[in-house]
Amino acid sequence: MAKRMTSRLAPYLFVAPAILMVLVFLYLPILVSLALSFSDWNFIRPDARFVGLENYRAVLGDTNFHAALRNTGIYTLILAPLQVVIPLLLARLLVRLGKSRLANFYKSALFLPTIIAFSIAGATWLWLFNPLTGLFNIVLEAAGFAPQRWLEDPKLAIWSVSATVFWKTFGLNMLLFLAAFTAIPPELTEAARIDGARPARILWRIEVPLISPTLFFVIVTTVLGVMDDLLGAVDVMTGGGPIDATTNLLFYLWEKGLRFFQFGHAGATTMIIAALIGFITWAQFKLLERKVHYG
């Protein structure tokens, strides 16, 4: 009887730690944020006052939230295509180099920024963007162009932060594509070459459909990860300025919750962001999953 009970409970005991971690660190914070979104609490008062939908009205009517939402959309339109297309092409070039020492060097060099902390990456690019002594302005002046105020000009700041985030994050997607390309049976592409297919046609007609599950995964995670990737860079480089030109939804949430201690406001923002992420994920699966070739 004891052995039978043990054999039945064993699978649940093995997955129990993972389930516990998910409950404590994912679903419990969601429930707490939902409760806070209907209350007025600033972390100092011992009691939280119920305010209904007032926090949601405050968030949706906040011009800073509108700027954060708009900038998040701009960041996504800038970064998502770059973080998918360029790593895809780089991975294909690295596959062509084979297992040479040069290929290993390029793999290490291109992936290295991914393991650097955002604080270090942001500080490095702050020096590059320095209007007086930065490398970019030195190069511009040497080429006969006027120096730029990269992080002080609202029109340039969002592009400067995007460049930093792209440099810091594209390596992981490149590594995923590299693994997918490596798993393609070489006889398939070899047969296409014998038939006279050009490299570009082989890539888009044969290789991309074969790696479509990885491509789909990269697209979904990249679009959803833009907000998270931006938080560290925005905090270190611009603080959301100038004039809210570089803020985004996650930075807005961080400011409300951890800088101003407006936990009700932050809870409502969290729920709005969660709903937005859920809708975007649903739309991506609806539009893209049918084009994925499994097996």
User: What are the pLDDT digits (tens) for 54-79?
Assistant: 999 999 999 999 999 999 999 999 99
Helix (H) or strand (E) holding 269: helix 263-288
pLDDT at 295: 62
Residue-number span of the structural domain to which 92 is assigned: 63-291
What is the domain-level CATH number for residue 285? Answer: 1.10.3720.10
24 in a structural domain:
no
218 in a structural domain:
yes
- In eight-state DSSP terms, residue 39 is E
pLDDT band of 1, cuts 50, 70, 90: low
More confident residue, 99 or 164: 164
How far apart, in whole angstroms, are the C-alpha atoms of residue 125 and residue 222? 22
The percentage of residues in the chain with a pLDDT greater than 90, rounded to a whole number, is 54
50 in a structural domain:
no
pLDDT at 4: 76
125 in a structural domain:
yes
Asked if 85 and 171 touch (Cβ cutoff 8 Å), the reply is no
pLDDT at 195: 79
Q: Which of 2-6, 9-13, 20-24, 104-108 has the lowest mean pLDDT?
A: 2-6
How far apart, in whole angstroms, are the C-alpha atoms of residue 166 and residue 148? 20
44 in a structural domain:
no
Q: Is the pLDDT of residue 281 over 80?
A: yes
3 in a structural domain:
no
pLDDT band of 8, cuts 50, 70, 90: confident
How far apart, in whole angstroms, are the C-alpha atoms of residue 242 and residue 156? 10
18 in a structural domain:
no
Smallest CA-to-CA distance from 263 within 11, 41, 22, 9 is with: 41
How far apart, in whole angstroms, are the C-alpha atoms of residue 88 and residue 176? 9
Alpha-carbon Rg for the chain, nearest whole angstrom, is 24
What mean pLDDT do residues 271-288 have?
Answer: 92
How far apart, in whole angstroms, are the C-alpha atoms of residue 8 and residue 255? 48
Digit-coded pLDDT (tens) for 182-201: 988 888 888 888 878 788 88
56 in a structural domain:
no
Tokens of 112: 């290295």
Terminal CA-to-CA distance of the chain, rounded, Å?
Answer: 43
Q: Is the pLDDT of residue 157 over 90?
A: yes
Q: Which of 92-106, 246-260, 263-277 has the lowest mean pLDDT?
A: 92-106
What mean pLDDT do residues 121-127 have?
Answer: 90
What mean pLDDT do residues 106-134 have?
Answer: 90
Q: What domain count does the chain have?
A: 1
How far apart, in whole angstroms, are the C-alpha atoms of residue 215 and residue 220? 9
How far apart, in whole angstroms, are the C-alpha atoms of residue 225 and residue 230? 9
Tokens of 88: 């895809």
